Structure 1
Amino acid sequence: MRSHLLNETTAELYRRSATEAVERVAAHIAATKRPFTGVSPDELSPAVDAIDLDRPLGDTSAALDELEEVYLRDAVYFHHPRYLAHLNCPVVIPAVTAEAILAAVNSSLDTWDQSAGGTLIERRLIDWTAGRIGYGPTTADGVFTSGGSQSNLQALLLAREETKTDGRTQHPADLRVFTSEASHFSVQKSAKLLGLPPESVVAIPVDHDKRMQTVALAHALERCEAEGAIPMAVVATAGTTDFGSIDPLPEIAALCARYGTWMHVDAAYGCGLLVSPTRRHLLEGIESADSVTVDYHKSFFQPVSSSALLVRDGVTLRHATYYADYLNPRSAPVPNQVDKSLQTTRRFDALKLWMTLRVMGADGIGELFDEVVDLAAEGWKVLAADPRFDVAVEPQLSTLVFRYIPSDVTSPAMIDRANLYARKALFASGEAVVAGTKVGGRHYLKFTLLNPQTTVADIEAVLDLLAGHARQYLGDSLVHAS
């Protein structure tokens, strides 16, 4: 129906509808007492399944009432200080304001004739980020992406094509990608999407701090060359998902230079250090990378999605370029971002970071990230002093990995089950949300601290809740066993 199209005749309806939606969300945020209600899929599914999508309500208020029941009431709210699970950050208001603008104007960032102004804003932000990395002001380039997985995929595409350019590639089975055993799974997924066999990805062992062992990498590169295989890329990680560990970038860069290998740094998590007033040195060596992944929607406090791939030599982005007469003909003398992107239609996500920088400034973002890194250091001290828990690694960023270990239970399998139960029971209660992972084959719990509102007291309270649930499970298990 034309009455619902956004145009000059419906601007007032748009204003009323958007205002009502914002007011409802604001009310939820203001009233949220815990990050989750604890609703289960079985409880919520009937309400969603019962909605007849072929019978519209015809009214925004009625649709928002319905949305309260199937989404808003039971949503997981990342802004709550006891949401401690995944790499989901609370978002800053300037970026949310930008979301309202970009959704309504609905620019598509593929060609200039669809995104005048937007194209230049995105390019300026790419230049700004490249400068923060330490790339040259005239040679570097990049493009915004949907997230770290897409950025890593495009980086490895460029690495593969650049290897072909060198005339060394004979067969995909000859190519090797080296990455730490703690790196993101998107490295393996990207290799598969690029047609590389599973054995092409070589996992390099990590040290006690979960950082890639450069001695092992050197041996692997040497062995690769001796076997007649081709070292296509080394993927270093600046902020692993589980541990927040940062691989030794200068040493990795030196090895890549020796073997003529593309160096990619997955800094999806650790990119917040680019604006840190106190910790920028932790990314020393990143300027030597051929490509870098950054996720602003992690440590820059931006709404999803907001990510980018940066390259030291912008010419390499030609490997993602295809021309269509109806879209971006070769002769067009205008800047078209589709020439650099794996996507065609693409949201103006760059506006969120632009508004954030113009309102808060880079130091303002960096100070927020510093706060959560400081919090993780305090949390590590709490865990290290608590006899109920074993903490895996002293954090470099804002992640804590730990395990409840009771003094009177010696069965590793039983302790595994107690930790798993504690996490699930806590989630079901809605009092807090934490993540889990494995270390050495054993189940651990994980705090991912990205909320500056979270306090040490929150950490201590959640630890007590986890210990209580684990203790309850062990007590019940012992009763049933007897």
Structure 2
Amino acid sequence: MPAPRQHLFHPANAGAYREAVGAAVDHLVAHLAATAGRPSGGVSPREAAQRVAAVDLDRPLGTGPDALAELSRLWLDDAIWFHEPTAAAHLNCPVVIPALAAEVFVSGVNASLDTFDQSAGATFIERHLVDWTTARIGWGPGADGIFTTGGTQSNLQALLLARGQQVAPVDRLRIFASADGHFSVQKAARVLGLGDAAVVPVAVDHARRMDPTALASALADAVASGEVPMAVVATAGTTDFGAIDPLPEVAALARAYGAWFHVDAAYGGGLLVSARRRDRLDGIELSDSVAIDYHKTWFQPVSCSALLVRDGATLGHVTWHAAYLNPKDSAHPNQVDKSLQTTRRFEALKLWMTLRVMGADAIGEHLDAVIDLADAVAAELTAMPEIDVAAAPQLSTIVFRWCPPGLDDDEVGRLNAAVRAELFDSGRALVAATRVDGRSYLKLTLLNPVATVDDVLGVVALVRATGRRLLAGPAETGARDGRVAVLR
């Protein structure tokens, strides 16, 4: 028998695999240690593009060390490090070590979860995790679900199932979602051929939660116009404010109008394992489907998410049988019957290893820690002069802006945007931007359980100090690209 190719994962190459993986881990850990309090290198898109474009992919480097050195130059030297307390821009979390260890097996074995004869026991690990999560939601034994790439895919599949329950013409179907809900609802409507007008935005209250009175009015108006409520989408953790819609009230209205009730808990789903705040999800058990991103508030690596349904039979709306893969008479339990995907990585193993090593309570404690952090930081910011906090945090995001005297509203918005860009360029801190009622704001997204109040207030201090330098003028600050000019 001829020797296997040297780069293939094979018993004869086990030593080379161990050496390559060990070298990669050492290289990564060395970069981790060298971040030195900076969440990024501040590379510009132009610089990053030029470096990558200069690589001739038809001329391999030939050795692992050379490839790792090149990887540092192209990416790792300027990568975004989410373990840094000053990385507070997006819903990306530092990840737990048991899940990282699981990645070795996910990639090394390379199982595909579409059919049992490609995955064997992995099929049942995923199914057990689905059952465990649906029980946490409060559903019975008829519930089911499937792991997905993220909340966008989960929301798409949920709305596809909702459409499958309807017999009305497509042009009459309507989806009702919070005005602060995730844009993936609109994208799903387009993909499903319903069009942009099919999504009816529902006003929010002072706490940025869907207003049940506004929802009731919108539903009644739609029916009076001959439209059919296909689905009501509640959000358990809006991207900007972490707002959790009043789930029992929304559920009752959805049921009264015969609409599918979906809960987008991509952000807030981690509350299912919180010992102190699980009650914030009361009413989630009344839903027909739930989207959960384990790679947000469960501290898992991307991608690790799920769509869960109260009645497993509804997943039949995505079932298609192929003779070569999952014929109707198959004796095997094939997960592709439930999924929009065919080939699918064994992402569930990451959550499995986390639960088996750390336990669910430890995940919940991490989430409670970042919510406590957001509450404490928001209290400090609310007491600060010249800081405008848009709303009290409900999970772990804080929407705010610095409002120095003498600037009008538009100038404040441009200043805060310039500050955000300047901080990214410097690599010193990462904050996000958003708009609230037409006004520009900054946003702190806190998903680091080891960050402290002082760490986060330090980012706010950087915002103010950077803003003051920008206002002083380009000659004194060295500000790039003439950003200060937009303020004058």
Per the shorter chain, which TM-score range? over 0.9
* Aligned-pair CA distance for 1:218: 0.4
Q: Does 1:2 align with 2:9?
A: no
Distance 2:223 2:414 in 1: 44
Cα deviation digits, residues 400-430 of structure 1 (max 9, x gap): 0001101232x11111110000100011111
Asked if 1 retains the 8 angstrom alpha-carbon contact of 2:85 and 2:456, the reply is no
Taking the aligned partners of 2:63 and 2:378, their CA distance within structure 1 comes to: 51
Conserved 8 A contact 1:111-1:328: yes
Cα distance in 1 for partners of 2:126, 2:269 equals 18
Correspondence for 2:146: 143
Distance 1:50 1:227 in 2: 58
Q: 1:78 corresponds to which letter in structure 2?
A: F
Task: Determine helix, strand or coil for the equivalent of 2:473.
Answer: helix
The answer (yes or no) to whether the contact 1:112–1:335 under 8 Å persists in 2 is yes
Q: Give the equivalent residue in structure 1 for 2:372.
A: 374
Q: How does 1:16-415 map to 2 (within 5 A)?
A: 16-33=19-36, 34-136=38-140, 138-164=141-167, 169=168, 171-409=169-407, 411-415=408-412
**Inter-partner Cα distance in structure 2 for 1:446 and 1:399:** 7
Pair 1:461 & 2:464 matched: no
AA aligned to 2:46 is D
2:17 is matched with which residue?
A: 14
Contact 1:295/1:307 (CA < 8 Å) preserved in 2? yes
Displacement of 1:473? 2.4
Deviates more, 1:141-150 or 1:218-227: 218-227
Whole-angstrom distance in 2 between the partners of 1:416 and 1:329: 58
Q: Report the equivalent of 1:476.
A: 473
| Superposition TM-score, scaled by structure 1 size | 0.97
**Matched residue of 1:3: which SS?**
coil
Alpha-carbon distance in 1 for matches of 2:250, 2:187: 22
How many residues in Structure 1 have an aligned counterpart in Structure 2? 475
Question: How far apart are residue 163 of structure 1 and its match?
Answer: 1.5
Structure 1 residue ranges without an equivalent (≥5): none
Taking the aligned partners of 1:106 and 1:160, their CA distance within structure 2 comes to 34
Separation in 2, partners of 1:431, 1:41: 17
**Given residue 43 of structure 1, which amino acid in structure 2 is its aligned partner?**
E
Deviation of residue 302 (structure 1)? 0.2
RMSD: 1.4
Q: Which moved more, 1:179-188 or 1:463-472?
A: 463-472
Match runs of 1:438-457 below 5 Å: 438-457=435-454
SS in 2 for 1:351: helix
Contact 1:418 1:471 in 2 (8 A): no
In the alignment, the residues of structure 2 paired with residue 244 and residue 83 of structure 1 have an alpha-carbon distance, to the nearest angstrom, of: 18
Within 2, Cα distance between the matches of 1:47 and 1:247? 45
Q: CA deviation at 1:251?
A: 0.2
Deviation at 1:225, TM superposition (A): 1.3
Q: 2 CA distance for matches of 1:407 and 1:367? A: 40
The one-letter code sitting in structure 1 at the alignment partner of 2:454 is A
> C-alpha separation between the residues in 2 aligned to 1:44 and 1:154?
35
Q: Is the 8 A contact 1:47 1:70 kept in 2?
A: yes
Letter in 2 for 1:428: D
Secondary structure class of the residue paired with 2:291:
strand
Between 444-453 and 42-51, report the one with greater CA deviation. Answer: 42-51
SS at 1:335's partner residue? coil
Q: CA deviation at 1:477?
A: 8.4
Separation of aligned partners in 2, 1:211 and 1:233: 18
CA distance in 2: counterparts of 1:71 and 1:427, whole angstroms: 16
Q: Secondary structure at the residue paired with 1:395? A: coil
Q: Which amino acid aligns with 2:429?
A: A
Equivalents in 1 of 2:34, 2:247: separation in Å? 44
The CA deviation string for residues 299-319 of structure 1, in whole angstroms up to 9 with x for no partner, is: 000000000000000000000
Match of 1:431 among 403, 420, 428: 428
Report the residue type matching 1:192 in the other structure: R
- With normalisation by structure 2, the TM-score equals 0.96
CA deviation string 1:416-452 (max 9, x = no partner): 1100001000111111101010011111000000001
CA positional deviation for 1:388 = 2.1
Distance 2:378 2:120 in 1: 48
Task: Tell me the distance in 2 between the aligned counterparts of 1:180 and 1:121.
Answer: 35
Cα distance per residue 1:266-290 (max 9 Å; x no partner) = 0000011000010000000000000
2:480 paired residue number: none
Q: Separation in 2 of the partners of 1:396 and 1:333?
A: 47
Gaps spanning 5+ residues in structure 2: where? 476-483
Percentage of identical aligned residues: 58
Partner amino acid, structure 2, of 1:159: A
Amino acid at match of 2:451: T
Moved over 4 A (4+): 477-482
Deviation at 1:334, TM superposition (A): 1.3
Distance 2:182 2:285 in 1: 21
Q: Is the 8 A contact 1:172 1:197 kept in 2?
A: no
- Contact (CA 8 Å) 1:181, 1:203: kept in 2 or not? yes
Q: How far apart are the structure 1 equivalents of 2:113 and 2:47? A: 40
Distance 1:358 1:240 in 2: 30
